[in-house]
Amino acid sequence: LYHWDLPLALHYRGGWLNRDIASWFADYATIVGRAIGDRVKWWLTLNEPSVFIVCGYHGGHHAPGLKLSVTEALRCAHHTLLAHGRATQALRAGCPRPVKIGMAPAGYAKIPDTEIPANIEAARRSLFAVSGKSLWDVALWMDPVFLGKYPDEAAAAFGTTWHHPSAEDLQTIHQPLDFIGFNCYSGVRVRAGGDSSNTGSTRATSLGGGGAAVPSAPEDLPYPQDHPTGQLSWLMLAPEALYWKARFYNERYGHGKLPLIVTENGLCSSDWVALDGEIHDPARIDYLHRYLRGFKRAAMEGIPVGGYFLWSLMDNFEWAEGYRPRFGLVHVDFATQKRTLKQSAFWYRSVIESNGANL
């Protein structure tokens, strides 16, 4: 329903800073559900809410370019989750047939550096930790939706900037969903550290009271400078990302009862038409092959894998990045609008035809 395209008229009325946006969004969901709900069964309420709030309302480098305080950004985040809950209610009430509803949160996967119990637990803790320094922490977005409450440590981590949501709001946000969706492109390797001074950026150090150290605190490990990346610097190759996100989300939120659906995954690479008229993109094929192997591993281990959506079918306009990053399986000549299937499109067709047997 929402991929960051806020009507300008609503922006002038405060946008996500205005609590009324939850009602506006519910009205919108009702209209859309009545219009196409007879043909559309699967729905996502919001795409990457942390991105459009952090980058658009706090960091200021995405539209609408605001640099609000943490307190105001937290308010925007809460209104976003409230809108999700209201829209979920509206879709279930307004669609003419039963529907499947979820959300598409963003964020890095946290990957144990080696698969020993201490590192696995460190990666799990790092993924769901609340630092009190930013709104990127995934638990701030997913805990209210799936658990009906914000993380227990959020109030202490954010201190005086924290808001205190009402029980009624949390009940509205905590609507039953039909699947756990997640966008995932990259990940951070994590190992168990010696104390809380080596957290690497994600673990609050005051949770034990008085700034006490947390034993074996997670340590996020930096990638070497020559680590493979896509056209965008944040897209670092992390083939195990889909496996560990699916595993940790299933453990915390799904408990084997909700299917895990990758709602976005893909690679942007510098693709061009070769002399033979083809678009050879071996990096994308290799990236997708590695990531899908990880997701297949999750399925083989009994995690309820429900689906996978590749970003993207065609090269497109990438929000604040423009036309330069090319994510598509289909090459687009933006001057002529000519479409040409890349080699990755033929490879991905074989994956679909074999249902992943060739991975």
Task: State the Rg of the chain over Cα.
Answer: 21
Tell me the fold of 8-109+136-182+237-354: TIM Barrel (3.20.20)
H-type alpha helices, the chain: 8-11, 21-36, 49-53, 70-94, 117-128, 138-147, 154-158, 167-173, 241-249, 282-300, 343-354
For residue 356, the tally of other CB atoms under 10 A from its CB is 15
Averaged pLDDT, 188-204: 61
C-alpha span between 27 and 340 (Å, rounded): 40
Sign of CA dihedral 236, 288, 261, 86: positive
Mean pLDDT, rounded, of the chain: 94
Whether 214 shows a pLDDT value over 90: the answer reads no
Tokens of 351: 């994956």
- For residue 10, what are the contacts with CB-CB under 8 A and spacing of at least 6? 18, 21, 24
Q: Which of 121, 264, 321, 353 is catalytic?
A: 264
- Output the pLDDT for position 217: 86
pLDDT, tens digit, 9 for 90 and up, residues 164-183: 999 999 999 999 999 999 99
Tokens of 118: 């201490």
* 3-state class (DSSP) for residue 220: strand
318 carries an active-site annotation:
no
- pTM value? 0.92
Give the DSSP per-residue string, 108-166: -EEEESSSSHHHHHHHHHHHH---SS-S--HHHHHHHHHHSS--TTHHHHHGGG-----
- Output the pLDDT for position 210: 40
* Domain residue limits, the chain: 8-109+136-182+237-354
- Output the pLDDT for position 206: 29
pLDDT, tens digit, 9 for 90 and up, residues 70-86: 999 999 999 999 999 99
48 carries an active-site annotation:
yes
C-alpha span between 93 and 89 (Å, rounded): 6
Q: Which of 48, 153, 219, 240 is catalytic?
A: 48
More confident residue, 288 or 205: 288
- Output the pLDDT for position 212: 42
Whether 138 shows a pLDDT value over 80: the answer reads yes
Min mean pLDDT across 53-57, 119-123, 198-202, 269-273 is at 198-202
- For residue 56, what are the contacts with CB-CB under 8 A and spacing of at least 6? 4, 62, 63, 64, 65, 66
pLDDT, tens digit, 9 for 90 and up, residues 52-64: 999 999 999 999 9
Tokens of 329: 């399986």
Please count the residues of the chain. 359
Q: What percent of the chain has pLDDT over 90?
A: 92
C-alpha span between 338 and 210 (Å, rounded): 62
- For residue 221, what are the contacts with CB-CB under 8 A and spacing of at least 6? 113, 188, 189, 190, 191, 200
pLDDT, tens digit, 9 for 90 and up, residues 308-341: 999 999 999 999 999 999 999 999 999 999 999 9
Q: How confident is the model at residue 132 (pLDDT cuts 50, 70, 90)?
A: confident
Q: Which amino acid does the sequence have at 247?
A: R
Query: Closest Cα partner for 255 from 103, 147, 102, 336?
Result: 147
C-alpha span between 200 and 211 (Å, rounded): 16
Which of 108-135 are b and which e, b meaning 16 or more Cβ less than 10 Å from the residue's Cβ?
Answer: bbbbbbeeeeebbebbbbbbbbbbbebb
pLDDT, tens digit, 9 for 90 and up, residues 255-310: 999 999 999 999 999 999 999 999 999 999 999 999 999 999 999 999 999 999 99
